[in-house]
Structures are given as structure tokens and as C-alpha cells.
Amino acid sequence: MLLRLKTGVKNKMTVIKPPFTEETARAKVKAAQDAWNTRDPEVVVKGYSVDSKWRNRTEFFSGHDAIKQFLKRKWSKELNYKLMKELWAFSGNKISVRFEYEWKDADTGRWMRTHGNEHWEFNEDGLMQTRDMSANDYPIDESERRIK
């Protein structure tokens, strides 16, 4: 994932690679959050290796094509998706995050909130090679939304 870091060169675009420091781990989490909030599979997939392996709840798949198909399906159901990610832990080439997102169910029109955790492993180029995600959803009233 590309993002801007303060490196002495103003606004230099840098690829964030492991091993991570607290600063670079937080920047990597923020970059992932920003990419996912575009709701554009072509943008999101750029942060993953071509053979990236995913577990998303009960689904297991790998590779850019499968990731893009999954995201298109996800966001056709999860309307008005808005995500917040928070660094939980990091070490070497691994980062764990907790996340929360809100969305409107395309089938029912009901607002939902999802809470979960992800464990990420990156290759030497800074691309995510493994993404392991667990989450739970529950209905909320629109007035209860806190991520906008």
C-alpha cells in the first residue's frame, strides 16, 4: 500500500515494508482503512500479493481475482459501508487490528454494525500475503450510527 510518511522529503510516496515499527504499523493500518473505505476492489487489491490467502469468516480463497469478486459481492450487499480500523499489535512482518464498520443491508434496508479482528502477514515488498478475519454483525438503528 502506498502512503505518505514524513521522511525528511516532503510528501514522498513510500511503500511501507516490514519489519514494522509502531509508526509504520499505524500508517499501514490507516492506509488499509482508507483503501477499504473507497469501496473500490481495484484500489483495495493493490495492497495484497497476487497470491494473497484470505479467510473471511467462513470463506477461504486466494488471489487477486477471488479478492475482487469477494469485494464486489460484499459491497453489493453492504451499502453505505464505512470502516474504522485500529492497530492492536504488531511484530516483524505481522499486524493485528480490531475493526468496526457500519452498513445498510441491501436486502432488508436495516442498518448493521460489524465488529471484528484481522491478523495480517506481509511479504518483503510490503504486500499482504495472508489475511485472517473474524467478525460478528448486529442490527442498529440509523440513529445509533457512529461511523460516518
- Edge-first strand order for the sheet with 59-62 is 59-62, 48-56, 128-140, 111-122, 94-105, 78-91
For the chain, the domains span 16-144
Q: Tell how far CA 118 is from the center of its chain.
A: 8
How far the first Cα of the chain sits from its last, in Å, is 24
Gyration radius of the chain's alpha carbons = 16
Using CA atoms, how far apart are residues 88 and 117, in angstroms rounded to an integer? 9
Whether the model pTM is above 0.75: yes
Tens of pLDDT, residues 80-136: 999 999 999 999 999 999 999 999 999 999 999 999 999 999 999 999 999 999 999
Tens of pLDDT, residues 34-66: 999 999 999 999 999 999 999 999 999 999 999
Using CA atoms, how far apart are residues 16 and 124, in angstroms rounded to an integer? 10
| CATH architecture for the domain at 16-144 | Roll (3.10)
Mean local confidence (pLDDT), 61-73? 98
Q: Cβ of 20: how many Cβ atoms within 10 Å? A: 22
